[in-house]
Amino acid sequence: MERSIYNELSGIITDEQIKLEEPMKNHTTFRIGGPAKVFVTPRTSEEVRAIVAVCREGKIPYYIVGNGSNLLVSDQGYEGVIIQIYREMNEIRVEGDTITAQAGALLSAIANRALEEGLAGFEFASGIPGTLGGACIMNAGAYGGEMKDVIGEVTLLTPEGEVRAVPADQMEFGYRTSIAARTGAIVLGAGIQLQRGDKDEIRARMEELREKRVSKQPLEYPSAGSTFKRPEGYFAGKLIQDAGLRGFAVGGAQVSEKHCGFVVNKGGATAADVAELMRRVSDKVEEQFGVRLEPEVKRLGEF
């Protein structure tokens, strides 16, 4: 499969944009994951569209990743094409009160650009370790803010291969979901609507949130951020803590001692370790409190 798809893709993108048997541990914040059969880094929306068309026509599985901040890739890797929309598609432009960015732009980079321009409203996202594309799909949020609060429109590549600009009110944003998540549409970029603000106040708010993250989250270890979704009426981390699971480990994977809502890679953790740890945590919490924790982290490959 690799060689034939390689030949097709090399007619669309350069050879340096295509890698075979690329270790996914190099492309996830968990630092875990076996090889992707084919790994490509498109530079334009048109390249993304053409790559997806080749995959769909050949019935070859494909998966879009950004910086891999919410992803657990199987130890066996991925038997398909990984399309990474990240460093090669991260342009950020500002016009008036609107920031337009490609899907691969990091939220932290967008927040810093907003600060430079004196634009307020994006501070909540300044510490979220992900790209704009993933944030739009998941309606990422933190500290009382969500993407749905600031998005003007999102440029999507639909499952039918059409590029469409979709207004925010048609994105069906919900808790960690959107129309893109439900339909498999690919985010290519988005427009973010902000307001004029005081640079010192924006900087102070970003610094305040940064200090909160550093003091409360286990940023010193590889992780995929919050491991479980927030159950209605509860907090996942609190339930895990109350179940006596702080520091609970399977192999190199551990429930963070600093924040029980995070599973961290203490060194040498496998995807199997993380998956087993998550299963046991969910079972224990359900057994004690009758609440089943749902994973927020996406899984890719065979488990």
The CATH number of the domain holding residue 225 is 3.90.78.10
**E strands of 237-288, at which residues?**
249-250, 253-255, 262-265
Task: Work out the pLDDT band at 1, boundaries 50, 70, 90.
Answer: low
Residue 296: active-site member: yes
For helices 45-57 and 2-9, the axis angle rounded to 10 degrees is 140
Q: What is the pLDDT of residue 4?
A: 84
Residue 56: active-site member: no
Residue 296 in this model has a pLDDT that exceeds 80? yes
In this structure, the answer to whether residues 262 and 197 fall within a common structural domain is no
Q: The pTM is what?
A: 0.95
Average pLDDT over residues 115-132: 97
The residue assigned the tokens 């075979």 is 20
Domain finish residue from 202, 228, 261: 202
Residue 2: active-site member: no
Q: Tell me, what amino acid is at 180?
A: A
- Cα 245 to Cα 284: distance, rounded to the nearest angstrom: 9
In this structure, the answer to whether residues 115 and 185 fall within a common structural domain is yes
Q: Is residue 212 part of a domain?
A: no
Farthest CA pair distance, the chain: 56
In this structure, the answer to whether residues 235 and 186 fall within a common structural domain is no
In this structure, the answer to whether residues 138 and 228 fall within a common structural domain is no
Average per-residue pLDDT for the chain: 96
The residue assigned the tokens 């985010």 is 187
Residue 181 in this model has a pLDDT that exceeds 90? yes
- Cα 68 to Cα 31: distance, rounded to the nearest angstrom: 9
Name the nearest CA neighbour of 172 among 145, 123, 138, 128: 138
CATH number (domain holding residue 167) = 3.30.465.10
Catalytic residue among 79, 117, 286, 296: 296
Catalytic residue among 49, 113, 176, 230: 176
Domain coverage including residue 275:
218-300
Residue 277 in this model has a pLDDT that exceeds 90? yes
Task: Provide, rounded to the nearest whole percent, the portion of the chain with pLDDT above 70.
Answer: 99
Q: What is the pLDDT of residues 192-237, one digit of tens each?
A: 999 999 999 999 999 999 999 999 999 999 999 999 999 999 999 9
Q: Are strands 98-102 and 92-95 parallel, antiparallel or unpaired?
A: antiparallel
Number of domains forming the structure of the chain: 3
Residue 116 in this model has a pLDDT that exceeds 70? yes
In this structure, the answer to whether residues 238 and 285 fall within a common structural domain is yes
Residue 81 in this model has a pLDDT that exceeds 90? yes
Average pLDDT over residues 295-300: 96
Task: Work out the pLDDT band at 276, boundaries 50, 70, 90.
Answer: very high
Structure tokens at 3: 């060689």
- The stretches of 58-198 forming alpha helices (DSSP H) are 107-117, 132-138, 179-183
Domain finish residue from 84, 111, 140: 84
Domain finish residue from 84, 118, 134: 84
Catalytic residue among 226, 230, 256, 282: 226
Q: Is residue 207 part of a domain?
A: no
In this structure, the answer to whether residues 196 and 103 fall within a common structural domain is yes
